[in-house]
Amino acid sequence: MVTRRSKEMPACRARLVLEDGSQWPGISFGNPKAAAGEVVFNTGMVGYPEALTDPSYYGQILCLTYPLIGNYGVPRNRRQGNLSESFESDRIQITGLIIGDYSNEPYHWDCGLTLGRWLADNGVPGLYGIDTRALTRKLRHSGTMLGKIIFDSDIEFYDPNKDDILSRVSINKPIVYGDSEPRICLVDCGVKHNIIRCLLKRGAAVLRVPYDYPLFRENEKFDGIVLSNGPGDPKRAERTIATVREAMERKVPVLGICLGNQLLALAAGGDTYKLKYGHRGQNQPCIEAGTERCYITSQNHGFAVSRESLPRGFKIWYENANDSTIEGIRHKSGLFMAVQFHPEASAGPYDTEFIFDLFLETIQKKARPAHA
């Protein structure tokens, strides 16, 4: 076991201000600069390095409900090619962090530095000493709100759902991982690295392309498409939706994950809506439709597919056991499927990683030449 106490930024007073005017004073750690975004909460007990680097949190101030954060520090950033082994992207994606109690003396065999030092190095502010239970109850009662972390000077509120944020979390040009079959085209809307790892370890090659890539006009060869997770309002991803619609017309197998679930529904003619406070954590129960089987899943989303507008030919695959929202859809052809939760987990249970196997089996059953 290793203890790490890297140099911290000097603590000072700061406060979280919500759009309803309520103020939550705390003590800063990380980078002492103002930040604004959408305030959301995560109910997981562990997994903050993975959560903070999840691009689906881009533009959000994250409140962690578990009371003690930082006690195992931040792992060393080992890399395998273009992928980090420890994190879900190449940087911290949240705009700010809110916690109850902060531990600046972590103790863990793989600890590389403290959480506060990591936040400071990435230019992200954090606040501790806040009643995160009360804050979470407020967000559950009133719904997700805009907020800002301020020090001496004030700043404007910022709503990431009204911004073109996919361009900030997607790659700029295609990247290829591996050279085997099948070849999966991964549309990067802010993909978590473990989605790529899950495909690679099953023997597939991965062609990772930007969210707005003209896929069917670039002579790319692939056997199926994975639509990744990502931040923001899915209806703003018009170019991605058009690509998915063309893929369905060409009968290319499609798997959607998180935001990808919403994009598949929209491309098929369905609708989406904003949840009151979203699902964020590694402990969300989902029931497979038509069975009594319940899976504990990792989730991070603020929008959902409308039950009333379920696209023609699709059926509900999974439902949330807490609020009965749609957690997965599947087309009667078997070619198009999507889940709202994260089968790649990281953090969270890996119970639903078999979703990747089902998708690859679908591609094998289709048994036709790669598309160009």
Active site residues: 258, 342, 344
- Cα dihedral 148→151→152→155 (10° resolution): -20
DSSP result, 28-73: EEE----EEEEEEEE--SS-HHHHHT-GGGTTEEEEE-SSEESTT-
The residue type at 233: D
State the Cα–Cα distance between residues 92 and 57, nearest whole angstrom: 9
Altogether, the residues listed in the chain come to a count of 372
Sign of torsion, CA 229 230 234 239? negative
Alpha helix (H) residue ranges in the chain: 48-52, 115-121, 132-142, 166-169, 193-200, 238-249, 259-267, 354-366
How many alpha carbons lie under 13 Å from residue 361 in its C-beta half-sphere?
Answer: 7
Nearest residue to 155 (alpha-carbon basis) of 125, 179, 128, 183: 125
Contact of 206 with 184, CB cutoff 8 Å: yes
Which token pair is 51?
Answer: 């959560």
